[in-house]
């Protein structure tokens, strides 16, 4: 049974703020601010990239590469995170599930969906803030497990 109904409303609002802030940071080239939304040893795992980014420096470098790639193609990239479900693990940890779309818009052109993914995050309380300890991204276009065998 899911623990989404036992999460305090204030914590759910804080998680929405965290995810909105994080999306704006990576999309606007504020890589250090984006990396600070993770814990000191925070991890980002995605099949879209060859290796996970672990720790502040690697996370900031990842975000910088993401923004630079968009700039190099004269596009604006947006992270659109929706359908968040926040589940209690315990009083200082949450699991957050969401749908993440990455949309690219050519300057002066049309928008296109780059990829549709889901994120599953382990989020922990650090002082008065919630921070992401581990993000795992799954791509919707990945073959089913039975197709990979």
pTM, 2 dp = 0.91
pLDDT tens string, the chain, 149 residues long: the values are 566 678 999 999 999 999 999 999 999 999 999 999 999 999 999 998 889 999 999 999 999 999 999 999 999 999 999 999 999 999 999 999 999 999 999 999 999 999 999 999 999 999 999 999 999 999 999 887 766 55
How far, in Å, CA of 41 to CA of 18, rounded? 18
Q: Would you say 28 and 64 are in contact if contact means Cβ atoms under 8 Å apart?
A: no
How far, in Å, CA of 59 to CA of 31, rounded? 8
Taking each helix axis from N to C end, the angle separating 9-27 and 56-72, rounded to the nearest 10 degrees, works out to 50
> What's the pLDDT score for residue 147?
62
> What's the pLDDT score for residue 65?
96
Bridge partners (DSSP) of residue 79 are 102
Q: What are the percentages of helix, strand and coil residues in the chain, rounded to 5?
A: 30, 45, 25
- The helix/strand count (H/E) of the chain reads as 4, 6
């Amino acid at each position: 049974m899911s623990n989404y109904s036992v999460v305090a409303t204030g914590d759910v609002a804080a998680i929405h703020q965290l995810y909105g802030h994080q999306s704006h940071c990576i999309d606007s080239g504020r890589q250090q601010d984006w990396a600070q939304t993770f814990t000191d040893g925070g991890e980002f795992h995605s099949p879209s990239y060859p290796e996970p980014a672990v720790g502040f420096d690697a996370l900031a470098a990842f975000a910088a590469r993401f923004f630079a790639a968009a700039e190099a193609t004269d596009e604006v990239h947006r992270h659109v995170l929706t359908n968040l479900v926040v589940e209690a693990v315990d009083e200082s940890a949450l699991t957050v599930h969401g749908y993440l779309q990455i949309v690219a818009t050519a300057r002066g052109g049309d928008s296109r969906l780059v990829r549709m993914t889901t994120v599953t995050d382990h989020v922990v309380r650090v002082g008065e803030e919630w921070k992401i300890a581990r993000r795992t991204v799954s791509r919707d276009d990945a073959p089913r497990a039975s197709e990979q065998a």
